[in-house]
Amino acid sequence: MEHFRNPRNVGEIPDADGVGSVGNPVCGDMMTIYIKVEENRIADIRFKTFGCGAAVATSSMITELAKGKTLDEAMKITRKDVADSLGGLPPIKMHCSNLAADALHAAIEAYRKNKEVDR
């Protein structure tokens, strides 16, 4: 409930190095994760989420888990890690933790793809 009532790292990063957006058409939740990368670490991370309280809480938690980590470390953050860090989620809301991890991974993949194009 704390991450729903007082979410961390809300907003956009206008010049983000990577952006990942995911959604679940069944429940209508939509998440976008923005990352700023410095020396292969997530220096800043923000999110914008449209959805239920669990979607907001998992978005907030994924930003806390990923901030300061190397890209490889952040890619290892699992859906279960997100749910466990929140003290668990009701089974009907587990898909929200899936979205948060998927959005983070998509942002990292977008960063890596953009970096390859710049070479």
The predicted pLDDT at position 28 comes to: 79
Mean pLDDT by runs of 10 across the 119 residues of the chain is 71 96 82 96 96 87 96 94 83 70 96 79
Q: Please, are residues 42 and 68 in contact by the beta-carbon 8 Å criterion? A: yes
27 is catalytic: yes
The predicted pLDDT at position 108 comes to: 97
pTM score of the predicted model: 0.88
Neighbouring-strand partners of residue 105: none
3-state secondary structure of 92: helix
52 is catalytic: no
Q: How many other CB atoms are found less than 10 A from the CB of residue 4?
A: 16
Distance, in Å, from the CA atom of 59 to the CA atom of 47, rounded to the nearest integer, reads 7
- 């990577």: which residue's tokens? 18
CATH topology for 2-118? Sufe protein. Chain: A (3.90.1010)
Q: Please, are residues 47 and 63 in contact by the beta-carbon 8 Å criterion? A: yes
The predicted pLDDT at position 31 comes to: 93
The predicted pLDDT at position 119 comes to: 52
**Domain ranges, ordered by start, for the chain:** 2-118
Distance, in Å, from the CA atom of 2 to the CA atom of 117, rounded to the nearest integer, reads 40
Catalytic residue among 96, 99, 100, 110: 96
> What token pair was written down for 58?
């998992």
The predicted pLDDT at position 105 comes to: 97
The predicted pLDDT at position 88 comes to: 78
Catalytic residue among 8, 10, 23, 27: 27
Under DSSP, the state recorded for 7 is -
